[in-house]
Amino acid sequence: MSRQPRKTGPTRPDVPGVVAGAVLTGAATIWMLTENGVLQTDDLGVTSALLLVTAGVLGLAASRRG
């Protein structure tokens, strides 16, 4: 019996995965920069806000793509 390959359409992006990945990567980057003295503690509010905005934009872009 021969197997026919399944035809699959374009895959939908994993929006929660994209947002979670962006947040975790950004948080790790902020932590690394803070530990190495590149980023000061008083800069964390603005940096965290930019991280969340960037993750939201990436999530919107991924959801529009699919």
What tokens were used for 50?
């930019």
The number of distinct structural domains making up the chain is 1
pTM score of the predicted model: 0.64
Q: What is the pLDDT of residue 12?
A: 76
Mean pLDDT (the chain, rounded): 80
SS3 12: coil
Q: What's the confidence (pLDDT) of residue 29?
A: 85
**pLDDT at residue 40 in the model:** 83
Domain range enclosing 28: 15-65
**Is 42 a domain residue?**
yes
Distance CA 44, CA 49 (A): 8
41 part of a folded domain: yes
Cβ pair 23, 52 in contact under 8 A: yes
pLDDT band at 48 (very low <50, low <70, confident <90, very high): confident
pLDDT value of residue 66: 59
Whether 43 and 15 have beta carbons less than 8 Å apart is answered as no
Confirm whether 7 is domain-assigned.
no
Q: Above 80 in pLDDT, residue 3?
A: no
